[in-house]
Amino acid sequence: MPAHHGVDVALTVPSTDELDEALNGVVADRVASRIAAQDPTLWGPDAESEASIRLSWTQLAESSRPLVAEIEALRAELHDQGIDHVVLCGMGGSSLAPEVICHTAGVDLTVLDSSQPDMVRSALADRLDRTVVVVSSKSGGTVETDSQRRAYEQAFTEAGIDPVQRIVVVTDPGSPLDEQASEAGYRVFRADPHVGGRYSALTAFGLVPSGLAGADIGELLDSAEQAQAALFADDVDNPALRLGVLLGVANRHGVDKLVLADRSGHGIGDWIEQLVAESTGKQGRGILPVVVPDEDAPNFVPSTTDSIITVIGQSQVGVIERTARLAGNLAHATLAATLGDNPPVDDSAVPTALSGYAAVVDGPLGAQMLLWEVAVAVAGRLIGIDPFDQPDVESAKKAARELLDGAGDVPTPDFSEDGIDVYGAGSSLADALDRLLDQIDVERGYLAVQVYLDRIAHADFAEVRETLAEQLTRPVTFGWGPRFLHSTGQFHKGGTPTGVFLQITGTPHDDLAISGRDFTFGSFIDSQAAGDAAVLRDHGRPVLRLHLTDVEAGLARIRELLA
């Protein structure tokens, strides 16, 4: 195996027999029904103690029912007071589910999952007099969420509004946030502690903000409940087993990218991204999701041999056949994991050469969430990792903390050009970029673009993913910082060591103090970027950081260079 790959699994293609064998194996081992029965031994002895406190997600369709009426009553109470704008403060598993639930339902939810000062400011300035803020944190110790809470407490107080009337907390029982919020008199929803963050979509974490915003959370639970029989069946037709086997077997053959064409139009790709990246990306192994807008996007066509291509939200026969054809392998496409009206696939038009992996996944939102959770648990067993921990997220948090405490080395730019401070080698900005991109391994590498800016104000910049993917013909991911740190950040540091990282940071228009803290939002997000870059470099990964002293001009310059 060539050393430059940094991966010890050769890229090969399994036979249809191997996929069938693995599928028969998980059926014979009763994996689906044992997941439903919350058997913690499924992932081996090392994962057993974590798994024994992480499997309650299998029964949420029933156990979360009592929350529906409680949340709906609170929504009605708030509406009576003219409070109809819901803001969610939270990161990762505490924000990605409500975001997709509300988007799918077509209801308005402001998701504040950032420490970027301008973005925090914009949220604070938006309809404060009509706003209820849900502060969600399972651990109760996430610094972004704590800082957002402090910002809203201060804003409400300054506006003469009692924060106790406007802040609702979701957390695990006994967390520091639970103690603090209960003492302050806030309304606290205590979630099931035996469910991990990224599996918590159907707990209070997903339901409270979504229900307050007006999504039909009863229907969401109904759709999960209706899918349970199919998803927990020890049966070769179980779509979750089929998807999990596809992911697991492909990964054993060195395939470690999952290109998701998110045709749902509601952003379920971002939720799946966290579930897959944090659950599998560890011990130098795992699967990196690459979220793309549709099946025509670069990285989907053409795809690379180290990718599984997946269409979400379009189980029409034409889409299934086309996906199968692109992957060149009907066997994989017949692993289409669709729920509900699942049309039959016409095999006749599709070539059967074995050269790739594909899946089409569809179904109502609650059902699909459960489907992906079961599939990822199955894949984790086949890959041989613990799907319930996230060991490498902490390292970046620690490095950021040290920088804030003045303990770490504050990085200094290597040079500046056109108002852009460059942290990396090169004779010019263009040269520094070329040098970074040249380090992407042509067979196994990927580029991760990590942008620590206001993701609402600069949303268009995400299009550089398409430009770069087209030019590089290698998988390119795009993540907004610090949001991605709670998602793909785990894979970047703990997964297959094949990433190359372009970090973009910027000077905010206006920094913002955090009440009761000796650091500002601006210094916090800077430390988060610098801390993560330091950890990536410690892992031997190339990182180029570009700091934009004038964000608008800097982004325009980067676009120009990349085009």
Ligand X SMILES: O=P(O)(O)OC[C@H]1O[C@H](O)[C@H](O)[C@@H](O)[C@@H]1O
Q: Which residues bind ligand X (CB under 6 A)?
A: 91-94, 137-139, 142, 145, 197-198, 278, 390, 393, 486
How far apart, in whole angstroms, are the C-alpha atoms of residue 321 and residue 61? 33
Which amino acid is residue 422, in one-letter code?
V
Residue 201 or 324 with smaller CB distance to ligand X: 201
CA-nearest of 352, 401, 430, 377 to 519 is 401
Give me the count of residues in the chain. Answer: 563
Q: Which helix (H) or strand (E) holds 277?
A: helix 268-280
Residue 252 or 517 with smaller CB distance to ligand X: 517
- Shortest approach of ligand X to residue 177 CB, angstroms? 8
- Shortest approach of ligand X to residue 433 CB, angstroms? 29
User: Do 104 and 264 contact (CB within 8 A), yes or no?
Assistant: yes
Cα distances (angstroms) measured from residue 291 to each of 61, 87, 153, 272, 426 = 28, 25, 35, 9, 30
Residue 147 or 390 with smaller CB distance to ligand X: 390
Residue 91 or 464 with smaller CB distance to ligand X: 91
Cα distances (angstroms) measured from residue 190 to each of 185, 217, 222, 277 = 14, 17, 22, 26
Tokens of 67: 């929350």
Residue 97 or 230 with smaller CB distance to ligand X: 97
- Shortest approach of ligand X to residue 278 CB, angstroms? 5
Fill in the DSSP letter of residue 298. T
Residue 142 or 477 with smaller CB distance to ligand X: 142
How far apart, in whole angstroms, are the C-alpha atoms of residue 337 and residue 309? 13
- Shortest approach of ligand X to residue 447 CB, angstroms? 22
How far apart, in whole angstroms, are the C-alpha atoms of residue 87 and residue 95? 11
How far apart, in whole angstroms, are the C-alpha atoms of residue 543 and residue 537? 7
SS3 (DSSP) at 404: helix
Residue 271 or 357 with smaller CB distance to ligand X: 271
Q: Measured at CB, which residue is nearest to ligand X?
A: 92
Residue 93 or 508 with smaller CB distance to ligand X: 93
- Shortest approach of ligand X to residue 390 CB, angstroms? 4
Which amino acid is residue 227, in one-letter code?
A
- Shortest approach of ligand X to residue 111 CB, angstroms? 13
CA-nearest of 522, 483, 520 to 113 is 483
How far apart, in whole angstroms, are the C-alpha atoms of residue 191 and residue 307? 36
Q: Which helix (H) or strand (E) holds 112?
A: strand 110-112
Residue 139 or 157 with smaller CB distance to ligand X: 139
How far apart, in whole angstroms, are the C-alpha atoms of residue 340 and residue 343? 9
Q: Which helix (H) or strand (E) holds 451?
A: strand 446-451
- Shortest approach of ligand X to residue 94 CB, angstroms? 4
- Shortest approach of ligand X to residue 92 CB, angstroms? 3
Strand partners, 257: 288, 307
Residue 6 or 482 with smaller CB distance to ligand X: 482
Residue 144 or 262 with smaller CB distance to ligand X: 144
- Shortest approach of ligand X to residue 119 CB, angstroms? 17
Alpha carbon distance, N-terminus to C-terminus of the chain: 35
How far apart, in whole angstroms, are the C-alpha atoms of residue 55 and residue 176? 23
- Shortest approach of ligand X to residue 96 CB, angstroms? 8
How far apart, in whole angstroms, are the C-alpha atoms of residue 191 and residue 194? 9
How far apart, in whole angstroms, are the C-alpha atoms of residue 90 and residue 123? 13
Alpha carbon dihedral 115, 116, 122, 126, in 10-degree steps, equals: -20
Residue 177 or 292 with smaller CB distance to ligand X: 177
How far apart, in whole angstroms, are the C-alpha atoms of residue 399 and residue 105? 39
Whether the CA torsion 220, 223, 226, 230 is positive or negative: it is negative
- Shortest approach of ligand X to residue 283 CB, angstroms? 16
CA 403 to the chain's CA centroid? 25
The 8 Å CB, 24+ separation contacts for 5-9 are: 5/441, 5/443, 5/444, 5/498, 6/441, 6/444, 6/496, 6/497, 6/498, 6/540, 7/254, 7/256, 7/284, 7/444, 7/496, 7/497, 7/498, 8/284, 9/252, 9/253, 9/254
- Shortest approach of ligand X to residue 146 CB, angstroms? 9
- Shortest approach of ligand X to residue 486 CB, angstroms? 3
- Shortest approach of ligand X to residue 189 CB, angstroms? 13
- Among all chains, which residue has been given the structure tokens 């599984």? 308
Residue 92 or 117 with smaller CB distance to ligand X: 92
Residue 262 or 278 with smaller CB distance to ligand X: 278
